[in-house]
Amino acid sequence: MKIKEWSKDERPRERVIEKGVESVSSAELLAILIGSGSANESGVDLTRRILSENGNSLRSLCALSREELEGYNGIGSAKAVTIMAAMELGKRLMREAHTDRVTMGSASDLFDYFRTHILDLPHEECHMLMLDVKNRIMGHKLVSRGGITESSVDIRLVLRSALITGATNIVLCHNHPSGVPAPSKADDVLTRRLKEACDVMHIRLLDHVIVGSDSYFSYYESGKL
């Protein structure tokens, strides 16, 4: 049965109008976005199925590519892009909240800031923050993008970006697509070499944070920096 054939108090859009957006489920919100399902199932049934097959997790849904979304019967390119746009808006909302707090005071702050940029990526990315003497954000730069297990970081590029920005402090952060934030030997080597290079240029490497699924590793907090 199509959603428009449901009784008024069962239709997601009407319930949002009557009772507020908090009254409907995630699947119903997604159904409002895509508008319709397929010949065999309503939009709500379709979005329920998609969520169910992804562990009822919006974060897992967010990690799906356009091609993966289009693999579901009833989801074409327009609906897939609509879902991706909604997920991206959620990420940007989180980023705005952290951007308002421009001072990075702890590894937890860094984890909260970076997770909206690199959490759940299927590949490894390395980012850097450039900070002033009071640890206020002066700039954010993508340093490298790699494969599933590693990315290559050019220390010269990191230092050049810091010098151009006039940063006195920097932070490095990268994700582990495996979800496990434990540092590798390559991560240890990179951190040591970057610290040595920063010392020469009188720039302070405050931390190197590795982002996992729900946790992080901080070189500073672990005493390795």
Task: Note the pLDDT tens digit of each residue in 6-35.
Answer: 655 567 888 888 888 888 888 888 988 888
Total of domains in the chain: 2
Residue 121 domain flag: yes
Quote the pLDDT of residue 101: 45
For the stretch 167-179, pLDDT in tens is: 999 999 999 998 8
CA distance 9 to 15: 6
Tell me what the pLDDT averaged over the chain comes to: 86
Residue 38 domain flag: yes
CA distance 173 to 206: 11
Task: Enumerate the H helices of the chain as residue ranges.
Answer: 12-19, 26-34, 43-52, 58-62, 66-69, 77-100, 107-118, 155-165, 185-200
Neighbours of 101 (CB within 10 A): 13
What is the SS3 assignment for 136? strand
Tokens for 203, please give them.
């720039």
CATH number of residue 185's parent domain: 3.40.140.10
Residues 204 and 130 in one domain: yes
Selected residue with higher pLDDT from 148 and 136: 136
Residue 225 domain flag: no
CA distance 176 to 150: 8
Residues 105 and 83 in one domain: no
What is the SS3 assignment for 71? coil
53 has a pLDDT exceeding 50: yes
Residues 169 and 110 in one domain: yes
Residues 105 and 211 in one domain: yes
Residue 223 domain flag: no
Query: Is the Cα torsion angle 199, 201, 207, 213 positive or negative in sign?
Result: negative
Tell me the one-letter amino acid at 216.
Y
Residues 179 and 126 in one domain: yes
Residues 62 and 109 in one domain: no
Selected residue with higher pLDDT from 114 and 75: 75
CATH number of residue 32's parent domain: 1.10.150
Tell me the one-letter amino acid at 25.
S
Residue 224 domain flag: no
Domain that holds residue 56: 3-92
Residue 107 domain flag: yes
Residue 113 CB burial class (10 angstroms; 0-12, 13-18, ≥19): buried
pTM: 0.61
Residues 117 and 179 in one domain: yes
Q: With CA atoms as reference, report the closest residue to 52 among 34, 33, 26.
A: 26
Residues 176 and 70 in one domain: no
Residues 51 and 135 in one domain: no
Residue 44 domain flag: yes
